Amino acid sequence: MQFRSIRHHSLKRQLHGFICLPFLVLLLASCTANISETGKTTFKINVDTWIGYAPLRLAQEKGFFEDVDVQIITTPDVAQRKLILERGENQAIAETVDQLVLDHSQGIHSVAVTGLDFSNGADGIVAVDTIKTLQDLKGKIILVQKNYVSESLLNYLLEQNGIDFEDVTTVDTEAGAAGAAFAAGRTDAAVTFEPWLSKAKERTGSHILATSKDAPGVVVDILSVQQDYLKTHPDIVAKVVRGWFKAVEYWKQHPDESNAIMAKYYSVTPKEFADQVSGLVWPSYDENLTYFTQNAKPSIYDVADTFVSIFLKTGQIRSKPDLEPAVDTSILQNLHAKQ
């Protein structure tokens, strides 16, 4: 089974040496459109092993990215992915909205241009039966991966239920390992994701306490592009985004073929793949337009603001970052304009 990546390294510590790099090198790297051996423009996207990014693979195989050679690079560590983006070595990363907020508190110039998937039950908290509600987590030890979407989901659910963050004790554990530890009976509560949510609830005397389905629009994966690259090559970014939506539509029309193509990248059977993606939603173009509208509920804007509030309370950020440059709606709005 494949899991989301291990992310234990301190981005702040890694950035300390990085900021001394010559500005000119960064500028040239981020603004230049590279040409691959095929003669196509190269566009590199860093991802982790989360199954929600699978339509990128489908689009790649079906040629939906037009004349752009999209290269999907799996980099396990989130801090490394962000550094690679900021250095201009890659043009985009797949991440979650909470990470976008942290980007802009850490000087990472990422810009969200579209949503990729909405977790709709694929992330959650598992607990023993004696922990019947979120309130029962008070005084308990919870295994959760720090500085990752698992921790963000936990903190969001705690805040929504009026529980002080200091009322629980968290132990930094990679999300897949947290699920495995719970399934093995080594902890009473853990934050994890599929397939570990399903595996964990098979433990006698346990249940799923809460999932991302209880927090719609909060656990959302997005495509974030390097700011300078987006400014100079919006046409290339638009082709990549169009390719993503073509893949999602193709999957809806040809699920069996599509599942077979995507499953092989995650070392699972097509049936296992279909089961695992049942807990997420690949939003349509229209749904993305709504999510990227300021007055919508939920929207990327109000979810980002919620995480700013949470991160200030948890001490993950010291001040509110400027999020105005963090979201660009022009790609979505002009995606189907006359080309």
107, 138, 183, 293 from 129: Cα distances, Å: 43, 15, 13, 40
Pick the range with the lowest mean pLDDT from 76-80, 126-130, 200-204, 244-248.
76-80
Cβ-in-10-Å burial (0-12, 13-18, 19+) of 229 comes to buried
Q: Are 266 and 273 in contact (CB under 8 A)?
A: yes
Helix (H, G, I), strand (E, B) or coil at 204: coil
**pLDDT level of residue 15 (50, 70, 90 thresholds):** very low
Cα-to-chain-centroid distance, residue 176 = 15
pLDDT > 80? residue 75: yes
The dihedral of CA 266, 108, 300, 124: what is its sign?
A: positive
**Amino acid identity for residue 234 in this structure:** P
pLDDT above 50 for 131: yes
pLDDT of residue 78 exceeding 90, the answer is no
d(C-alpha 65, C-alpha 72), whole Å = 12
Instruction: Report whether 299 contacts 291 (CB < 8 A).
Output: yes
CA–CA distance from 16 to each of 13, 59, 83, 255 (Å)?
A: 5, 37, 11, 46
Mean pLDDT of 304-327: 94
Query: Tokens 């797949």 appear where?
Result: 94
Per-residue pLDDT at 2 exceeds 60:
no
Mean pLDDT for the chain overall: 88
Complete edge-to-edge strand list for the sheet that includes strand 123-128: 169-172, 141-144, 189-193, 123-128, 206-211
- Answer yes or no: is pLDDT of 3 > 50: no
d(CA 27, CA 109): 12
308, pLDDT greater than 80: yes
If one compares 111 and 217, the residue with the highest pLDDT of the two is: 111
**129 and 207 Cβ atoms separated by less than 8 Å:** yes
Q: Which of 23-37, 153-167, 178-192 has the lowest mean pLDDT?
A: 23-37
pLDDT by residue (tens digit) across 47-59? Answer: 988 899 999 999 9
Torsion, CA 311, CA 315, CA 317, CA 320, rounded to 10: 70
Domains of the chain and any CATH numbers: 11-118+219-333 (3.40.190.10), 123-214 (3.40.190.10)
* pLDDT for res 125: 97
Q: Are 304 and 326 in contact (CB under 8 A)?
A: yes
pTM beyond 0.75, yes or no: yes
DSSP state at residue 35:
B
174-183, 194-203, 204-213, 255-264: segment of lowest average pLDDT? 194-203
Q: Give pLDDT, residue 36.
A: 59
CA distances from 184 to 2, 193, 206 (A): 18, 16, 11
